[in-house]
Amino acid sequence: MRQLQQRRLGTGGLEVSALGLGCMGMSFAYGPAADRTEMIAFLRDSVERGVTFFDTAEVYGPYTNEELLGEALEPFRGKVVIATKFGFQLKADASPGWDGLDSRPETIRKVTEGSLRRLRVDAIDLMYQHRTDPAVPIEDVAGTVRDLIAEGKIKHFGLSEAGPDTIRRAHAVQPVAALQSEYSMWWRNPEAEILPLLEELGIGFVPYSPLGKGFLTGKIDENTKFDDTDGRADKPRFLPEALKANLALVDLIKRFAVERDATPAQIALAWLLAQKPWIVPIPGTRKLHRLDENLGALDVTLGAEEIREISEAAAAIPIQGDRYTEAAKKHLERH
């Protein structure tokens, strides 16, 4: 098994590979689910390449992504870290998607038991609240997780897409090991308030969509067509006119990639890794050659001047289109 660079999330001793693997797309949101046997082999190959941090959630499928990871990673129990999440109210018929938010203490406990069973583990390494639930005080959420940690069912507590006030209040009840939120060259909102707060409190940061849902790899343009089961199909940023305008950012990344004999994906990930030593991106892929490409970013070291130049040039490019539709924002951008 290859040894990758390691990074720490939080102050509670949680150590993971400097790049993790986002597993959602294997079962959910990026077109039809991949072949299960192929994904089991892929996940095991990922471990052999040194990846020790895997991200899933109850809602991915629902259930099927956790079940996939449970089977694939069972031989590596104790050698890998699996993060999962609670917080969405699933549909009554267990079809893809959700019917709202639900972080009531009894729901957290129920989800935890289900996740333990599906992941085939004795304790969940990192349990995130998937989205802030305005109907449940964050103190009650953190308190429930604190109790589950005391019971040995969860090891570390995380939040996803939470705002500064929520993070502070949760952390005061149960130390937060990691915040997972979108962060990349084309979504830099966390830089204003979130990154300074995490540094102050000693909380790790796990950027999802670090490659802009594939856009920053340079493989997508205004002519790209998305399957109806692909979650990008209706996102404003992925509509043809927005894609066309946003290609200016990809062109910038490509220019730096040529200079460093790297790929655009490697430059985008190296830039993220260089922001803070406690940032662990989780790019998702279902292809081994893409995983190898992403892991190659760990060998791309950007100097301070290069980071400044890339950051300033990227900031000067106006990004077109929102992350989510107005309807989706109700559940996905609550803080």
Q: Would you call 257 exposed, middle or buried from its count of C-beta atoms within 10 A (0-12, 13-18, 19+)?
A: buried
60 assigned to active site: yes
- Judge whether 283 and 201 are in contact, CB under 8 Å: no
- Residue 203, token pair as written in the block: 């909380």
φ and ψ of 12, to 5 deg:
-100, 15
- Judge whether 64 and 96 are in contact, CB under 8 Å: no
Measured distance CA(286)–CA(267) in Å, rounded: 20
- Residue 57, token pair as written in the block: 């959630």
Spatial CB neighbours of 303, under 8 Å, sequence gap ≥ 6:
none
- Residue 108, token pair as written in the block: 């957290």
* One-letter amino acid for residue 183 of the chain: Y
Catalytic residue among 30, 60, 128, 183: 60
- Judge whether 26 and 73 are in contact, CB under 8 Å: no
Measured distance CA(210)–CA(282) in Å, rounded: 7
Measured distance CA(276)–CA(273) in Å, rounded: 6
Q: Are strands 204-208 and 88-90 parallel, antiparallel or unpaired?
A: unpaired
- Judge whether 44 and 303 are in contact, CB under 8 Å: no
Query: Which is nearest to 204 in space by CA: 6, 4, 11?
Result: 11
Cis preceding-peptide flag for 175 (omega within 30 of 0): no
Give CA separation, 254 vs 121, 145, 223, 243, 258, in Å.
42, 43, 19, 16, 6
Measured distance CA(235)–CA(18) in Å, rounded: 29
Catalytic residues: 60
